[in-house]
Amino acid sequence: MNPSLEAVKAYLLDLQERICAALEAEDGAAHFVEDAWTRPTGGGGRTRVIAEGALLEKGGVNFSHVHGDSLPPSASAHRPELAGRSFEAMGVSLVMHPRNPYIPTAHANVRFFLAEKPGETPVWWFGGGLDLTPYYGNEADCVHWHQVCHDACAPFGADVYPRYKAWCDRYFHLKHRGEPRGIGGLFFDDLNDWDFDTCFAFQRAIGDAFVDAYLPIVQRRRDQPYGQAEREFQAYRRGRYVEFNLVYDRGTLFGLQSGGRTESILMSLPPEVRWGYDWKPVPGSPEARLTDFFLTDRDWLALAPTPAG
């Protein structure tokens, strides 16, 4: 089946609506502000940002649909056969930075690319995923997050979750720090192994999984007490998030290289960040346990409790 831009776009716009509604209801105080924008060289989008809420210090859920005569280097570098093709790219990308340090930062995106050249078969693929970045880790939260990821993948084959879980662990890795950004989840790109309908169904499964994966964690942690020390550690660890997004993230690079809207692209950055020269946590502290135990690319489902027989 030929790819349907209209069907993908309709799904993505609806996904943005549903996620914003769920997060706004959970916050209970702040509302998303919409900023529609147009890209001078083709396309545009709608950025939705929430800030200074009861729950969310800063968050955004962006939809974009851009097109152009040629793919930027970040997209064609690993696919040189696409150079010179026109393209359409659309997606929803979100990042949530809660105020409470015991609630993890969450990121997700789903996207679709179509590259065309007269007289040649269109080339298309899906990409996306979801990942979690805790500051004070909790094993039950990590198991829940990965269980939802596993269940979303299960209808598409037993090998899908472990493959895309491992890809996520590799991708969200700060090489210069020698550590993962968070506890992972799923990451996939260049997906066209199945027919269009199956690939699109998989993208929908991943997009729809975000609320089920994140909100139960938020609800369990939102009232956990914290102080200035926890906030300072959160700000320090947020620095790692900034480093990854500005140095490695393909979505950020694609957006900047394709002439995307800078405010929307950098919406993912947290509101307050700090760096300390060669700072290290106290051995044996909860802060040390983040890197000693949680940021280790482990098999979280192996820690799930065994059901009673």
Q: Active-site positions?
A: 107
Closest CA to 215 of 46, 61, 12, 24: 24
Q: What are the phi and psi torsion angles at 212 (to 5°)?
A: -65, -30
97 marked as binding residue? yes
Give exposure, 95-112, as e/b (b: 16+ Cβ within 10 Å).
bbbbbbbbbbbbbbbbbb
Rounded alpha-carbon distances, angstroms, from residue 46 to 31, 36, 49, 56, 125? 15, 4, 10, 20, 22
* 144 annotated to bind ligand: no
Annotation-wise, does 173 bind a ligand? no
67 is in an annotated binding site: no
- How many of the other CB atoms lie within 10 Å of CB of 184? 30
In contact, 126 and 111? CB cutoff 8 Å: yes
> According to the annotation, is 260 in a ligand binding site?
yes
Return d(Cα 97, Cα 234) in angstroms, integer.
10
121: three-class secondary structure by DSSP? coil
CA 128/CA 112 separation, integer angstroms: 9
> Residue 170, annotated ligand binder?
no
**Residue 65 assigned ligand-binding role:** no
| Rounded Cα gap, residues 188 and 49, in angstroms | 26
| Annotated binding-site ranges for substrate | 93, 109-111, 259-261
| Annotated binding-site ranges for a divalent metal cation | 97, 107, 146, 176
